[in-house]
Structure 1
């Protein structure tokens, strides 16, 4: 009964505060204060500063603002345009044509930005006008952009992976490595759907691109050299074990500044805008992490996580049963919260239950990020939907109808990941 009362109190206070429009970080801290005051004898004035300091003085956490800054710098370069021009000659004659560029360009840009919204906005600014000019069906053009933009959360380096790694206290390097195969799987699923849908509906692929000679294709491929070099420097250094996530992030910032300088898009205005944008985003995410850390500490003092884990263990739910229940839970949360908020709100409560049924925390992190990707394309608070609305002027629910097939493909990826857990763990095992 005490566990039930604590759970209802936590959920009730948090939901009321969020419904009132209180900042998520403030709502988390306020809920933690209520839990400590009502269910423990611990002094909140001692727990709060201790928790804030211990969870902010983290070397691992320094990777977060660096990767965000890297993405902000690249957001202001010609990188996306070069990606489109470099990839389009190789994809134009496939079923679905240049729509595949959305998938590949988002996948490549995700590997250097770490942000879903930045990936969607940057690639969308280039690809949507080009596809519209060639009379491609906007349903598949916009839908594929919304779905592919979510790759920014999964393909390393990922900001959400860093947040989960800090919250769950698991290796961020291993999370980055674990995200590679699932990220490639999603790209294959998206491109396969585009090819099949375009083959069934010829109006979706209205024109066949002119065949370019091999020399011209190779010449355009040179446009991909900067981004490929940056991916090798950032992700390759982590995979090879010669750099930590934080060190790789510093390399990424230096590389992105070099790309911007060589492309003549590095000005004082773009530099200061990138720095200010990274500062705002980092402060927002940091506030969320600290609020979640305090709520986690409050729950630990009250014994709530341990009690919930015990209840789940005694319920007889198998690992797959728990994943099925959590998938529905996360999809519902995705209607109301952004991905980072979902991760920081739920990780501390769920991890004891995950441990109780023997689920690998690295695998669970990849599963959680794929489910969180769904939140990026579900109304009313899907960030990717807002980004696409700003690019196209279309209504949120009209865009939602266009991305539904890609939402279902994300759900299929969850099923495949559950059936074949090695998709997330095989590379991690190989690099130990």
Structure 2
């Protein structure tokens, strides 16, 4: 192994070690990246990089898409759009064994279309759906696992923050990435809807049969809670797919649309607006620090020769396309147990994506596969971010040990869907190809 590969692997190992000892991942990445740049280019080059990169990132127009989509989701969450969506769907699934879980799955998929954050999605439906599941004597571990898993739809169904960051780091079309996530997202939700009744039949004690019934009239009347979500999806995805609005503008239009809907329905107050803006600022700041650190680390790996040497090593090893993808899946599966998903994305894309390009694989398809692995990461014990979010939001209703068991069926579903998407790339590439 040559010097550049050894240096890069040592840097990655030290970075993971710092994170394991509790150093925030953004600082772990940034510190190692900075030290690496010092040894590669000297003190002057390091200082110049630190001085110019934060401004270059913060002033990049394409990055405006992040706060806009986050703001749209937080406004929808704070103004009752999501709870009404859940209640509307729940009226149609009542009376079916596992109906509450199916309602959470469908509503999570709907919320994912107006929110790019898996954590917000999981925490929101824990507060909305889990108390009702507790009243109906559902198994709390299985119910919490279903909510945490359904929350991952936000990583795949546009507007996904994972797609945004991946697109910016790899210079791929964010609009095409968004379109690529639609069919895989529908496939995943469909698999959940098929699996939940089957699991309920195998484990009937986990999911008691509900005796509640809703009349057809009440079901139809309840659909009025769905229209805000439909309008926002039409504005955002319709604008991107038609080419009328680029992703950045679509995010802004979506945020204005969510605000206008809340005002028209008299759901917007000064306090709710302030909470939405504050949460948007907090999450955006965290993401920007992470991205800046990741770009510093990426620059070090490129300049040190690690990326080019790794690409040559892998492509010259005789490993097939699917063999390499399997290797990457295993890497992300292990990393996902210990590192949060966005940090994992920023940490690994700089050296994984060049190899993907060298193999001639479709970059948009790989973006979808990467997002699916991110979904797995946030529900994989022992460190699944969505699992912690659900336990925290459950207010003591569920223990971490319970959700570890309850989420396992959904981890298996995600693995099955992942291999379907690997085997049939057309599922991911069909809609983006129509945009050419």
TM-score, length-scaled by structure 2? 0.94
Unaligned runs of 5+ in 2: none
Distance 2:208 2:297 in 1: 54
For the structure 1 residues 272 and 303, does the alpha-carbon distance in structure 2 shift closer, same or farther, using more than 3 Å as the test? same
Compute the displacement of 1:363 (Å). Answer: 0.7
**Range that drifts further, 189-198 or 37-46:** 37-46
Residue matched to 2:269? 267
CA contact 2:94–2:214 (8 Å) conserved in 1: no
String of CA shifts for 1:73-109, please: whole Å, max 9, x gaps: 2221212221122112221233422220011010001
Residue matched to 2:260? 258
For the structure 1 residues 47 and 139, does the alpha-carbon distance in structure 2 shift closer, same or farther, using more than 3 Å as the test? closer
Residue matched to 1:23? 24
Distance 2:91 2:384 in 1: 32
String of CA shifts for 1:52-84, please: whole Å, max 9, x gaps: 343333211100011111122222121222112
Residue matched to 1:233? 235
Distance 2:372 2:183 in 1: 12
- Number of positions where the alignment pairs a residue of Structure 1 with one of Structure 2: 432
Matches within 5 A, 1:340-379: 340-379=342-381
Distance 1:210 1:16 in 2: 52
**Range that drifts further, 275-284 or 257-266:** 257-266
**Equivalent residue in structure 2 for 1:402, among 403, 406, 422:** 406
CA contact 2:141–2:404 (8 Å) conserved in 1: no
**Range that drifts further, 234-243 or 400-409:** 234-243
CA contact 2:145–2:387 (8 Å) conserved in 1: no
Distance 1:200 1:380 in 2: 26
Distance 1:391 1:290 in 2: 30
String of CA shifts for 1:226-278, please: whole Å, max 9, x gaps: 11111111122112221111111111111221233234332212211211111
Compute the displacement of 1:385 (Å). Answer: 0.9
CA contact 2:8–2:301 (8 Å) conserved in 1: no
Distance 1:389 1:114 in 2: 21
Compute the displacement of 1:429 (Å). Answer: 1.0
Is 2:418 the partner of 1:414?
yes
CA contact 1:379–1:396 (8 Å) conserved in 2: no
Distance 1:8 1:205 in 2: 47
SS of structure 1 residue aligned to 2:297? helix
CA contact 1:66–1:249 (8 Å) conserved in 2: yes
Residue matched to 1:123? 125
Residue matched to 1:97? 99
Compute the displacement of 1:48 (Å). Answer: 3.2
String of CA shifts for 1:117-159, please: whole Å, max 9, x gaps: 1111112211111222222333432221111111111110011
Distance 1:328 1:228 in 2: 37
TM-score, length-scaled by structure 1? 0.95
Unaligned runs of 5+ in 1: none
Compute the displacement of 1:294 (Å). Answer: 1.3
**Equivalent residue in structure 2 for 1:427, among 428, 431, 436:** 431
**Equivalent residue in structure 2 for 1:317, among 316, 319, 323:** 319
Compute the displacement of 1:17 (Å). Answer: 2.6
Computed over aligned residues only, the root mean square deviation of the Cα atoms, in angstroms, reads: 1.8
Distance 1:251 1:359 in 2: 33
Is 2:146 the partner of 1:136?
no
CA contact 2:379–2:387 (8 Å) conserved in 1: yes
**Range that drifts further, 338-347 or 377-386:** 377-386
